[in-house]
Chains A and B, each alone.
Chain A
Amino acid sequence: NAGVTQTPKFQVLKTGQSMTLQCAQDMNHEYMSWYRQDPGMGLRLIHYSVGAGITDQGEVPNGYNVSRSTTEDFPLRLLSAAPSQTSVYFCASSPPGLSTDTQYFGPGTRLTVL
């Protein structure tokens, strides 16, 4: 198993540009989520999905869109990039249903918005 994969690893955007961060998992996990990591703030939840066709907002959803058309993929879209979205983005997945379950993280995408 490849686990959780993310592309690209690095990206530089100009203010106002849009882009999609890709996330895929091959573990047949129902639950997937996106976090952003900023210095001194830990990881904050952006959006999450409990299964194909079902998404919901996390703590910091503004400026981001998600969709979940398949169990495997959970892309994150930046509609109009802003410097405040400069961050490291992590995708995670886990089996369904239990708060005790381990979440599996991808290697991250480092995004810089100029």
Chain B
Amino acid sequence: GDSVTQMEGPVTLSEEAFLTINCTYTATGYPSLFWYVQYPGEGLQLLLKATKADDKGSNKGFEATYRKETTSFHLEKGSVQVSDSAVYFCALSKGSWGKLQFGAGTQVVVTP
């Protein structure tokens, strides 16, 4: 079946450091790929998405490129802030009605 694998956390960084969170997927067909973020005590919210190969999603300084050849969708940010501390989930969806298949989540902690 379809699955999403992302790097384990927690990832601890200093403010202004570069962040990468690796995400790879296994799926038949042509899934859409998403990054959702969960801030402490809140529900998930969409961070960015890409719907076809080579698409780049971007939002709030975060970027991820849909790489079909490596089945990857790695999340990057060039300079993190304390406010980026959260849990980040990689997910895929395909077919109609968009049921999401999530990775396990990666906790990111940014210290001043």
Contacts and interface: CB of A to CB of B under 8 A. Distances in A.
A94 B46 CA distance: 12
Contact of A90 (B32, B44, B95): B44
B43 interface: yes
A106 interface: yes
A61 interface: no
Contact of A33 (B31, B94, B99): B99
A106 B41 CA distance: 11
Interface in B89-104: 89, 93-100, 102-104
A12 interface: no
Contacts of A106: 43
Contacts of A53: none
Interface residues of A, number: 28
A98 B99 contact: no
Interface in B57-103: 89, 93-100, 102-103
Nearest to A110: B41
A96 interface: yes
A100 B98 contact: yes
Interface of B: 4, 31-32, 36, 41-46, 49, 51, 89, 93-100, 102-105
B44 A101 contact: no
A74 interface: no
A76 interface: no
Given A43-B89, A99-B93, A102-B46, A31 B98 contact: yes
Interface in A44-62: 44-45, 48, 50, 58
11 contacts: A40-B104, A48-B97, A58-B99, A90-B43, A99-B94, A99-B97, A99-B98, A103-B46, A107-B41, A107-B43, A108-B43
B49 A42 contact: no
A41 interface: yes
Given A90-B44, A97-B96, A105-B44, 17 more contacts: A35-B102, A41-B104, A42-B4, A42-B103, A90-B43, A92-B44, A96-B97, A99-B31, A99-B93, A99-B97, A102-B46, A103-B98, A103-B100, A106-B43, A107-B42, A107-B43, A108-B42
